Amino acid sequence: MRVKGDASVQDLNDIYYFVRVVELGTFTAASKALGVAKSQLSFRIARLEEDLGIRLIQRTTRRLHVSEVGLLYYQQCLKILAAAQEAQRVVEQVQATPRGRIRIGCPVLFEQLLLAPLLVGFLECYPEVQIEIDICGHQADVVAQGFDIAFRVRQTVRDSSLVVRSFGMDRHILVASPRLLEGLPTPQQPKDLARLPSVDVLESEGRHFWTLLGPDGSSSMVEHHPRLTTDDLHALLEAAIGGIGVAELPDWMCRPALADGRLVSVLDSYLLPPGNVHAVYPSRHGQTAAVRCLIDYVAAELPRRLRALQGVDEESAFATTVGVE
């Protein structure tokens, strides 16, 4: 690390080498203690003197003598190294103890139904952590917007520049308003969906598909052209209830509307890929203890919160994987 001053450039390592030479009395002793070649050590001290424009150590064939200004400089170097050690200690303490601010980006419905209740418990466990939530869409730029972590509710996350931790979620279903289907033949197979309008989440690639797994194990991919696209799942739910189009939504989200008849399931003999909650963040390296603890806390508590929304008590198949997608 080279530290720029007004008149010179100094290397913190050179300062440390100088201090050790002064303390040990000879280049030979300092070389052995530091594990640095004597010639390299002599070069580093000479470079430091050149940067400062002054002789710190007078050398002879048998001994060295620290100049008067060298002794004064040595005293200040001790303070510099002590400050550097304190700065390192502060960083290590922050890394070891969860504290400080976490910036989170997530969709509004996920925040309201799943994340917010979990954060109450998390903040009780870690009183030195502060959380800032920014409601954003699935396409939010984690790095550019300065998020420590963002949550996305999608089947997959395709951004290979991010670290992704995925939490398996509830099954998805196709739903529509009875009013939309009134007077139309009931869809019996995936191709029948082509004549129905749809609504869907935003897709960066611009094309929209439903992937359906049939009772016989066959897989079908149906392209559709939604009338409404949005990152807000609640808006898609309202659009489906209002008869705008067929929607693919989490099962738990649709249950109240299915129960009172505002929605009906479409092709319920076919399965859709389950939705997933993904935690995405720039890198595992340099991650604070607070962020690591939050990710682990969500991994442990999210299944319970989801089961509460589903109204079930038994353990669900809620797989957690870690990787880069």
Shared domain for 177 and 261, answered yes or no, is yes
| 49-76 pLDDT per residue, tens | 988 989 999 876 667 889 999 999 999 9
* pLDDT on residue 120: 92
Domain CATH code at residue 106: 3.40.190.10
User: Do residue 16 and residue 154 come from a single domain?
Assistant: no
* Residue 157 phi, psi (nearest 5): -120, 125
pLDDT value of residue 1: 46
Claim to verify: residue 82 and residue 22 sit in the same structural domain:
yes
pLDDT of residue 244: 96
Between residues 315 and 243, the one the model is more confident about: 243
> Strand, coil or helix: what is 75?
helix
CATH number at residue 6: 1.10.10.10
pLDDT at residue 262 is higher than 90: yes
What's the pLDDT score for residue 276?
Answer: 75
Same domain, 135 and 279: yes
Domain that holds residue 220: 172-266
Lowest mean pLDDT among 135-139, 183-187, 306-310, 316-320: 316-320
Average pLDDT over residues 1-16: 64
Concatenating the DSSP letter of every residue in 126-142 gives -TTEEEEEEE--TT--T
Same domain, 81 and 105: no
- List residues bridging with 66 in a β-sheet: 57
Domain boundary among 48, 81, 96: 96
Does residue 209 share a domain with residue 60? no
pLDDT recorded at residue 274: 75
- For residues 126 and 180, membership in a common domain is answered with no
Same domain, 163 and 300: yes
Q: Are residues 184 and 229 in the same domain?
A: yes
Res 169: pLDDT: 66
49, 75, 96 — which closes off a domain?
96
Are 58 and 67 in contact, with CB atoms under 8 Å apart? yes
Same domain for 111 and 156? yes
Write down the mean pLDDT value for the chain.
Answer: 82
Tally of structural domains, the chain: 3
Predicted local confidence at residue 314, as pLDDT: 42
pLDDT at 248 over 90: yes
Tell me which of 311 and 298 has the higher pLDDT: 298
pLDDT digits (tens, 9 = 90+) for 186-242: 888 999 998 899 999 877 677 899 999 998 888 999 999 999 998 788 899 999 999
Q: Is 109 exposed, middle or buried (0-12, 13-18, 19+ CB in 10 A)?
A: buried
Q: Which residue has the higher pLDDT, 92 or 268?
A: 268
Q: Pick from 227, 249, 233, 109: which is nearest to 175 by CA?
A: 249
Q: Which of 96, 117, 141 is the last residue of a domain?
A: 96
Q: Is pLDDT above 50 for 139?
A: yes
Cβ-in-10-Å burial (0-12, 13-18, 19+) of 269 comes to: exposed
Lowest mean pLDDT among 45-54, 274-283, 304-313: 304-313
pLDDT score recorded for residue 203: 75
